[in-house]
Chain A
Amino acid sequence: MKLQHALGGLEGLDTITPEIEVFVEPWEKRIFGIHTAMMALSNHLDTSIPDYAIDDVPTTFKSFWTWGHLRQGAEGMHPFEYFRLRYYEKWLGGISGFFVSEGYITQEELDARTAEFLEDSTAAAAPLPSGGAPAIDDQVVKYLKEGDSPMRPLEAPPKFSLGEQVKIKIVSPGAHSRLPGNLQGRVATVVKVYEGAFTYFFPTADGIGVPMPVYSLAFQPEDLWDESLIEPDSVYYNDIFEVYIEAA
């Protein structure tokens, strides 16, 4: 498990200085937009609940790209690198690496273009290329409006029921996980069994991806932390996929 899989409760960190801006440098907006376009143009949307005729969209993007792919990239980083980089710096590294590895661009042309903008302030300030098929942007807006719901029909009854005491399994997160590592082995109470089943974008080594029930679990602080570290009268809740849960 990497440190980014198990952030919860770390000691010795700084006081919070709230930064309320969404973007702290103008360039960050551009990588956010590129990532969102990739999600909106991803080839898996032909199997989504909204009716996306994704094969007909005149983009050259034919890859599978979701939040899961972005998260897997960040979770795969060296932990110290993860914390050295600001949020959108991780995105820029992961996304540009993906376009190179999938063959849309080469590392050489990306490096050469970057160097050109660094050396030539006129080129750096020049407008971006224009043009492109408007149907690409129509699909992007349609995705923003209609989303990509992970809810699917429930195929088998949920294993656990409201009020039941359960325990979080001890599992290796592998390349990508939706289980905060600090919850492994901890007990909790089921406070809600969500309607339906939830898929994930792709199967992970630790077992999510096929549609399965999700539970809202309540963890008491004394079940998570040493007595000397807990605050009185607080409850921690998390939504947990069924595969991560076993009977207490």
Chain B
Amino acid sequence: MPSNYPGFRYGADRETFSAAKVKALESLLIEKGVITGKTVDTILGYFETEMGPFNGAKVVAKAWVDPAFKKLLLEDCNAACEAMDFPEGMSGAEGEHMRIVENTPEVHNVIVCTLCSCYPWPTLGLPPYWFKDPTFRARVVREPRVVLSEFGVELDESVTVKVWDSSAQIRWWVLPMRPAGTEGMSETELASLLTPEAMMGVATVSV
């Protein structure tokens, strides 16, 4: 799966070397009893089934249809996520202290971590490459409207843009606006409209 972003596409030799080196490292760590033969696959599997953007999508969909839940979510994100019918772990690794900010017709929020890649694992899983990209991290804090337009988000001049950087221990995400034309949709249908990009503020939700 070579990247579609030229900046991340390197020569085959470089990737072959990294693949050999990481396999060498993992096999030695297993032989020496640091980890087991299943440890890495257990972790990767956890992010496919337990922690991922499928959780965040359900939280947002519920907030769109349940005003009391939305109020709780905005006031105490962890309490709201723990109240969902999810497996244990919504305040687990990299989600111990989460905050969510609401997009409205007047305010658009976008999340960044200029120092590294802090991301709310329980609700959104692992950060996509655009979030880890030094170019995004450098630019969005000063010129968020231009960066958002490069992601395809065109904001009206009347909209205030709020950029939230994560330099301490809070993990941030965004409650996007519910799009028009979704009246009568079930929570499951609404959840299917959501993407990690929408829940970090670099996309809007559409039908």
Contacts and interface: CB of A to CB of B under 8 A. Distances in A.
A binds B: yes
A118 B20 contact: yes
A231 B163 CA distance: 12
Interface string B127-138: 111101111111
A150 B96 contact: yes
B164 interface: yes
Contact of A13 (B51, B135, B159): B135
Given A18-B151, A144-B92, A239-B170, A128 B37 contact: yes
Nearest to A229: B142
Interface residues of A, number: 103
A78 interface: no
Given A136-B39, A239-B169, A178 B138 contact: no
A21 B24 contact: no
B187 interface: no
A172 to B, nearest CB: 15
Given A7-B134, A37-B40, A148-B96, A27 B15 contact: yes
Contact of A110 (B21, B37, B139, B141): B21
Interface of B: 1-8, 10, 15-44, 46, 50-51, 88-89, 91-97, 114-117, 125-130, 132-139, 141-147, 150-151, 157, 159-170, 195-197, 202
25 contacts: A7-B138, A8-B114, A8-B165, A16-B147, A16-B151, A20-B130, A25-B15, A29-B44, A37-B39, A59-B35, A114-B24, A117-B23, A132-B38, A137-B42, A140-B39, A140-B42, A144-B89, A198-B169, A225-B142, A234-B162, A234-B163, A236-B165, A239-B165, A239-B166, A239-B169
Given A19-B133, A40-B93, 5 more contacts: A7-B115, A9-B138, A17-B4, A25-B1, A105-B28
